[in-house]
């Protein structure tokens, strides 16, 4: 099997868009005709790779593979060789699985050097910009990301529904780049001028700076910009929505919230500390930090990898906790600085790994605030260290510029 025509890919084209154009330019009436032919060809050359190659366009990308992503990659590499001249650029356009975790535990995908939270990847529909389609008939990868609500090139809102039949647009299901299932040419659609927050949200995705000087646009890493949007969803709503995504409404609220960063965050933390006494059931030194402030520490480690702005959220939180400890010195009567920190929270606040934090406990640098039974081990979610001791130990070690973690103890 050989594909006679190899269209030139666009720099920001999605893999699904390119495969759809590939099938059209090689005179396949439907994409599934091409995918079935590819699958039959793969059966002859590598039956394992054939099993990992989906027939549906919507399931094609690598990150959709649940258990066989390596075989999906192998299948795409084999498909790349189906032209006589230069290889197809399938893996270059693909969105991959990522081992990076956002806000301590939320999954991500990887594309063009950036990690994107899975919670910010569109699932049900892919909007389009009619003006962009008029200029070049292909789907841009950034249209797949939820924050991209406005075209930054034309200053207009993205088109989410067909103006004629009002069906939600999704080219991976309709297999049409510029038309709706009803036949309406989307290039003829009119869209409204974009709101300022929509333009800012879209610039976060493509790495552009805005003349509005929004604090999020000062962050160079696209991954960290998107991590802040996920953080806001978790900070305000504690969890994702019913579809495990960040709603568009939350993105709009996040853009407004970060306009006043970090003052608004510090004020909210101060207010929670002032009202902490109303939440007490036991004394402060027997109350978990999580019971007063929620999971604010866990979600504030935006990314594990070191970036210059990695502590965009964590630094204001640590500054507040340092002030809290300084303003509440140790006395005979427990106070808010005696709240109990769990082992994972301690590792984050100390800027080190879980293993290093556990060694600090084993070697006596961290004193356990609860009495453990013989051979009993620390439980992750239980508060076991005093907040003041964690922050005092943190102040004794300056952050390391060249690594993701601080090393308090030498390696074994």
Concatenated DSSP letters of 236-254: HHSS--TTSS--HHHHHHH
What's the CA gap between 172 and 210, in Å, rounded? 31
pLDDT tens-digit readout, 282-296:
999 999 999 999 999
Per-residue DSSP letter, 182: T
Three-state SS at 328:
coil
- List the chain pLDDT tens, one digit each, 412 residues: 788 889 999 999 999 999 999 999 999 999 999 999 999 999 998 888 898 999 999 999 999 987 668 899 999 999 998 887 678 899 999 999 999 999 999 999 999 999 999 999 999 899 999 999 999 999 999 999 999 999 999 999 999 999 999 999 999 999 999 999 999 999 999 999 999 999 999 999 998 665 667 999 999 899 999 999 999 999 999 999 999 999 999 999 999 999 999 999 999 999 999 999 998 999 999 999 999 999 999 999 998 776 667 789 999 999 999 999 999 999 999 999 999 999 999 999 998 888 888 888 888 888 888 877 666 667 667 889 999 999 999 888 644 444 445 555 554 4
What's the CA gap between 247 and 243, in Å, rounded? 9
Strand partners, 115: 110
pLDDT at 376: 62
Q: What pTM did the predictor assign?
A: 0.91
Question: For residue 7, which of 70, 90, 63 has the smallest C-alpha distance?
Answer: 90
Question: For residue 223, which of 321, 69, 103 has the smallest C-alpha distance?
Answer: 103
What's the CA gap between 38 and 33, in Å, rounded? 9
* Residue 155 Ramachandran class (φ > 0 left, ψ -120 to 50 alpha, else beta): left
């Amino acid at each position: 099997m050989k594909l006679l025509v190899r269209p030139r890919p666009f720099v920001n084209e999605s893999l699904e868009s390119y495969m759809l154009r590939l099938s059209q330019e090689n005179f396949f009436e439907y994409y599934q005709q091409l995918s079935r032919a590819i699958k039959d060809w793969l059966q002859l050359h590598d039956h394992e790779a054939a099993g990992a190659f989906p027939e549906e366009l919507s399931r094609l990308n690598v990150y959709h593979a649940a258990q066989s992503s390596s075989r999906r990659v192998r299948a795409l590499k084999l498909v790349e060789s189906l032209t006589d001249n230069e290889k197809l650029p399938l893996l270059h356009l693909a969105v991959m699985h990522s081992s990076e975790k956002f806000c301590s535990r939320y999954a991500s995908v990887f594309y063009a050097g950036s990690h994107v939270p899975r919670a910010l990847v569109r699932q049900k529909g892919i909007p389009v910009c009619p003006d962009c389609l008029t200029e070049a008939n292909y789907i841009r990868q950034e249209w797949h990301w939820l924050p991209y609500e406005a075209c930054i090139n034309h200053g207009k809102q993205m088109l989410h529904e067909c103006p004629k039949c009002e069906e939600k647009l999704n080219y991976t299901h309709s297999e049409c780049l510029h038309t709706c299932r009803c036949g309406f040419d989307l290039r003829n659609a009119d869209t409204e001028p974009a709101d300022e927050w929509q333009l800012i949200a879209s610039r976060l995705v493509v790495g552009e700076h805005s003349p509005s000087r929004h604090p999020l646009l000062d962050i160079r890493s696209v991954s960290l910009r998107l991590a802040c949007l996920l953080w806001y969803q978790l900070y305000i709503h504690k969890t994702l929505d019913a579809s495990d995504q960040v709603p568009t409404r939350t993105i709009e609220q996040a853009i407004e919230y970060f306009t006043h960063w970090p003052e608004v965050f510090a004020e909210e933390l101060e207010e929670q500390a002032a009202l902490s006494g109303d939440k007490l059931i036991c004394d402060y030194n027997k109350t978990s930090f999580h019971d007063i402030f929620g999971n604010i520490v866990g979600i504030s480690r935006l990314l594990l990898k070191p970036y210059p702005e990695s502590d965009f959220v964590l630094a204001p939180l640590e500054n507040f906790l340092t002030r809290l400890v300084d303003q509440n010195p140790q006395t005979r009567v427990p106070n808010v600085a005696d709240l109990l920190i769990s082992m994972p929270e301690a590792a984050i606040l100390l800027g080190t790994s879980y293993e290093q934090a556990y060694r600090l406990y084993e070697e006596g640098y961290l004193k356990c605030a609860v009495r453990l039974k013989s051979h009993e081990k620390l439980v992750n979610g239980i508060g076991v260290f005093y907040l003041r001791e964690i922050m005092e130990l943190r102040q004794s070690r300056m952050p390391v510029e060249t690594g993701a973690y601080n090393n308090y103890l030498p390696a074994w």
